[in-house]
Structure 1
Amino acid sequence: MNAAYEKLLGGRSGLVGLLILCGLLLVVFPLVFDIFRLNLVGKYLAYAFVAVGLVLCWGYGGILSLGQGVFFGVGGYCMAMFLKLEASDPISTKIQSTPGIPDFMDWNQITELPLLWQPFHSFGFTLLAVLLVPTLMALVIGAAMFKRRVGDVYFSIVTQAIAAILAILIIGQQGLTGGVNGITDLKTLMGWDIRTDSAKLVLYFVNASLLIGCILIGRFILSSKLGRLLVAMRDKEERVRFSGYDVASFKVFVFCVAAMFSAIGGAMFTLQVGFMSPSFVGIVPSIEMVIYAAVGGRMSLLGAVYGTLLVNFGKTYFSESFPELWLFLMGGLFIAVVMYFPNGLAGLYQSHGKLLLSKLSGWQRRRASSVAPPAVAKPQPAPADVIIELPHGSLEGSK
């Protein structure tokens, strides 16, 4: 029990932080926001999956991936393919020249469903594809790079190039992927209309619960021996290698875990937003996802969630209130965080928040001690059956 308490919950402070986040996501936000704003928060939380994975991969493993949008997009496209096939039944597409296939395929003169799409008629296969396809991609990329000791900035450039290539490939294969418009007009999930307000509310809670589950998995990894090895590899990789550990395998593993987290976020994004496009796959969204982790604190799993929420809330607020200046305001926010809070929101809490809380608790204790009256001991009468004996001759000596 104690081991699970330390590994999954992070001790007392970790438990308090996790409970605060759960209360915020599962109680406060649903009560405060209307369904439109709550759906926006759900969209932001889908990005938080990527940020949590980056904390493991970049913050602790020292692997800066600028291509996490690839795995986010692949997970989203796998879910979108299933939803699009369900929305493209022969009755709904009877006006097409070829009923029973997605509309963008019909527009591109495709008369038969491609072989790649056929397994996505099964929801079970789709769930496996969401988890396994991005993980296998990360396994291939990681093994090819880390086994050859390609790291640091070179690995970042390679992942950035992969993100650009995949975005170009998706746009170019318009008949297979929907092109620049992506896969749109997604309506139902196994007959359940995902466009209704009640469905959006349910999907929000599912999304938040899955995110909390990923945070617990991340804490378990970091509290194990593997977590300590990740930090050691980040700081002194050669020493770890000379100690007999297979550094490349550990790097591949944590890179695959981060890819799986990103894919789950992409699938939930598709369910909540109702479409998936190549605009979430390329270089720009991948760099934005790194910014989420940096703002929250690249060494804090909970901080990554808060950083994602802060950046996206800022984007929404600035774009609504200052449509001509919001890009400059967002840039200023990033510059201020990098210059004055290099460890992000988590570092700000570590340096100032705990000190403020300790001062507040000390002030409350001093105030309580000054207000409370001093305790006065009341004299206790001697019991009637107690005989007090005096020394012999003491009365005579007093006369």
Structure 2
Amino acid sequence: MTIDRVHAAREIAAENGVDLLVLTPGSDLRYLAGYDAHAMERLTALAVPRTGEPFLVVPRLEAPMVDASPAGTLGLELLAWDETDDAFALLASAATARLGSAPARVAVGARTWAEHALGVQRALPGSALGLASPVVDRLRMVKSPAEIEELALAGAAIDRVHANMDVWLTVGRTEAQVGADIAAAIIAEGHTGVDFTIVGSGPNGASPHHELSDRVVQAGDLVVVDIGGETATGYRSDCTRTYVVGGGPSAEVAEWYAVLQAAQAASTAAVRPGVTAEQIDAAARDVIEDAGWGKHFIHRTGHGIGLDTHEAPYIVAGNDIPLVPGMAFSVEPGIYLAGDCGARIEDIVVCTEDGVRTLNDGPRELVELPG
């Protein structure tokens, strides 16, 4: 961890006319300063003024934790505040001193707690408050080789979970029972936390973000299994496969699933530098629409991934950002038949200098489990 990311953020902020960045606990703070702070009512914030040196505002009782983290090696000034202090006033005063006057434009992280964003605004009443996303996303969207390898390790770990799905996903078990076993396996295969376990059986598979339920898996069910977790370094996995349990698919299901598989392959193959995010979305969507299933593809084709499961760039119509080497994101078209069933195929991919690298393996066809 070096101070370079903080300085790069300062330069991009200046380009965007932002006088002060304020980043509270979350992935932005972890990315820039290496401090994985716990979010709570007490203010912890990295402040990056347009001129002068960046600094950290932290509760005094947590100052030793900063020193013990990678942030402790960056040489950042640490402003520790006591329980009876006004932490927001301390931040405002230190930033104003560095800038020579109160900042005209302040940007806070997109996932900053409202009480913290409003506290900054109260302490700097003459400042316009906006989001830091245009600044931080420019850095986070393009992964370093080390970050890509962390994502690859996470992807390989979640692949190992999918490879053992026949152990847990059987006829007669509830989604909740299957999900509990999957969650344990996510940890056993090298993650430190479980982000989500979606097990959508039968008609529940038509709900892309279905919550685990007590529905019993039945013979012939299509089951959408979308799972992911966090590794020790904070990087995430996210992979979806669709299974048919205790029997083969009907002719109609096999037909439209082949369309879905072709769409996912076409979208992945389209990834290369210079192609826009919305063109990757269109590559999948066009295949599905041309086959007559367009109204059943009800979400974007993908999302960026890194320290957050969902982050920029978003692979969706209207996003004309061109891909560059190092961008990592999901390719996950789906077809959902309300009240009946659904299917999704999802891989994490990385744009490379000459094309695409896929970070998930395993079969993308409809996987038949004995039940």
User: TM > 0.5 between the two?
Assistant: no
Q: TM-score of the superposition, structure 1-length normalised? A: 0.26
Structure whose residues are more often strand by fraction: 2
TM-score, structure 2 normalization: 0.28
Instruction: Select the structure with the greater relative contact order (CA < 8 A; seq sep ≥ 6).
Output: 1
